[in-house]
Structure 1
Amino acid sequence: MTSQPLVGLPTDHKQIGAHPFLAVGEKYIRAVVDGAGAMPVLLPTLDPALPLREFLRRVDGVLLTGSVSNIEPHHYSDESSYEGNLLDPRRDATNLALIPLAMDMGVPLLAICRGFQEVNVALGGSLYQKVHEQPGFLDHRERPDDPLDVQYGPAHDIALAPDGLLARWAGVERVKVNSLHGQGVRRLGRDLIVEATAPDGLIEAFRHDGPGFLLGVQWHPEWRVAGNPFYLSIFQAFGAACRERAERRARERPPPRAA
């Protein structure tokens, strides 16, 4: 038996008062513990960035979290950023480099909301900066004045790809999820396969067409994960992939030298 797998969570860079902070929302950390059965460790998003390869050698999975910030648009288009857009260049620099490296090293990746968008951009895709301003699309944003239970409550159905992972875990082809995002996938990144779509056709989930575990979702399955069987199944599958990597790393570790 191995110990709990280690799951790395890159941090957000936040200014709180006069001081900069590096932070991860507690709900993501809680979901790693309660949903994936893993031990969370934080990856500080510093400038210059820490050695990512060394960090990835030491963890068994990576969770790319949601955030109030957005990816700077110069990473995926020639559009200007709109006035008032909250940005986090340190997180962009860390995660857009980390994603292809983690894939190359076989580290399982679960990506949520901003993290979902980061994967798409890292693999050459693009985003809508404001989905709600695009003809034919719904407004997928939450209302910030609502209580959290309402913001994170069921918002709309998604259609699950019949041959996909999510449909297998859910046991149905349609589920209801929350919706708290202003941006969304415009052009899908390389080798990504659609796992779910919203009623307006917006991509809500994808997986990578290759070895290893890479799943991205636009909604927030971390929210009270233990009380939602579908959300829990996502974290449990991620946790299983992390444990497989932990066991493989344990087998490959050289035995200790005799005294």
Structure 2
Amino acid sequence: MITTSPRPLVGLSACSKRIDGASYHAIGDKYLRAVDEAAGLLPVVFPAFGEALEVDALLDGISGLVLTGSPSNVHPQRYEQAESDQHAPFDEARDGATLSLIPAALERGLPLFAICRGMQELNVALGGSLCPAVHQVPGRMDYRRPDDPDPDIQYGPRHPIEIDPDSLLATLLPEGDKPIEVNSLHHQAIDQLGSSLKVEAWAPDGTIEAVRYGKGKSFVLGVQWHPEYKAAENPVSRALFSAFARAVRHYAAGRHRL
């Protein structure tokens, strides 16, 4: 008899939103489909319950974590800066949830893939800070989302990145895809790098485009772009989600042996 192993569960961070006066926990369809179709894993949504989120109970049930992107930004008080219009919009319920999840996930050695806001959350959770408006810094590029309703243009390639040849990222990407171009839909970026994070890739102006966690042997990778958009159709995105999937399955196999 042929049997198949169940697909490992992966948690994805949701945002807290108000729609027509009602509260919702929301996540973009593209993140769920990327985990399902490009990684072959089973996605589950983690609510934005702030510090009330039952972190350990949730992490007990999964074998990987994806920190999603969002139009909102980490509140500057989380990295000891004063609030300004440049920092907005905020989602403090999500801040409380993700910034509680990250250290607990790292302590467990849980595979973690952080995307856009997720990479910024990873940086802040490890003591780093953010630049609120990169496009206003002299000599820096404008990374904001293109003003076009077509999502293929919004998520289309915008600029190349330079990848550290000794990085984890360099080992994951197909040889023919280096250098690569990535999309860009953000106005904030990493300023001071968080503790134990290593820079994996940069934009032409020096803006950090990818980081990894330098402690332990688990897969912990953050990218500033959006590989989740039509991930199954993009060879670079497929490579990243496939690498995450391998780490998740390895983690799941180890849990089942306990």
Q: What TM-score range do you get, normalising by the shorter chain? A: over 0.9
Q: 1:70 to 1:101 in 2, by over 3 A?
A: same
* CA–CA separation in structure 2 for the residues paired with 1:84 and 1:241: 34
Q: How far apart are residue 136 of structure 1 and its match? A: 1.3
Q: 1:84 to 1:201 in 2, by over 3 A?
A: closer
Residues 122-171 of structure 1, C-alpha deviations (whole Å, 9 max, x = no match): 00110000000111110011123341110100000000110112212222
Does structure 2 retain, via aligned residues, the 8 Å contact 1:225–1:231? yes
2:65 matched residue in structure 1: 62
Does structure 1 retain, via aligned residues, the 8 Å contact 2:50–2:92? no
Does structure 1 retain, via aligned residues, the 8 Å contact 2:74–2:91? yes
Amino acid at match of 2:119: F
2:30 matched residue in structure 1: 27
* CA–CA separation in structure 2 for the residues paired with 1:84 and 1:98: 22
Query: Which residue, out of 179, 199, 215, partners 1:174?
Result: 179
What is the SS of the residue equivalent to 1:176? strand
Amino acid at match of 1:203: I
Moved more, 72-81 or 12-21: 72-81
Structure 1 vs Structure 2 CA RMSD = 1.3
Unpaired stretches in structure 1, ≥5 consecutive residues: 253-259
* CA–CA separation in structure 2 for the residues paired with 1:130 and 1:57: 37
1:97 aligns with 2:103: no
TM-score with structure 2 setting the length: 0.94
Query: Which residue, out of 246, 249, 252, partners 1:246?
Result: 252
Does structure 1 retain, via aligned residues, the 8 Å contact 2:86–2:132? no
Q: How far apart are residue 47 of structure 1 and its match? A: 4.8
Query: Which residue, out of 171, 194, 212, partners 1:207?
Result: 212
Amino acid at match of 1:73: P
* CA–CA separation in structure 2 for the residues paired with 1:54 and 1:131: 37
Q: How far apart are residue 16 of structure 1 and its match? A: 0.6
User: Where do residues 93-242 of structure 1 align in structure 2 (5 Å cutoff)?
Assistant: 93-170=96-173, 171=175, 173-211=178-216, 212-242=218-248
Aligned residues: 252
1:257 matched residue in structure 2: none
* CA–CA separation in structure 2 for the residues paired with 1:109 and 1:81: 30
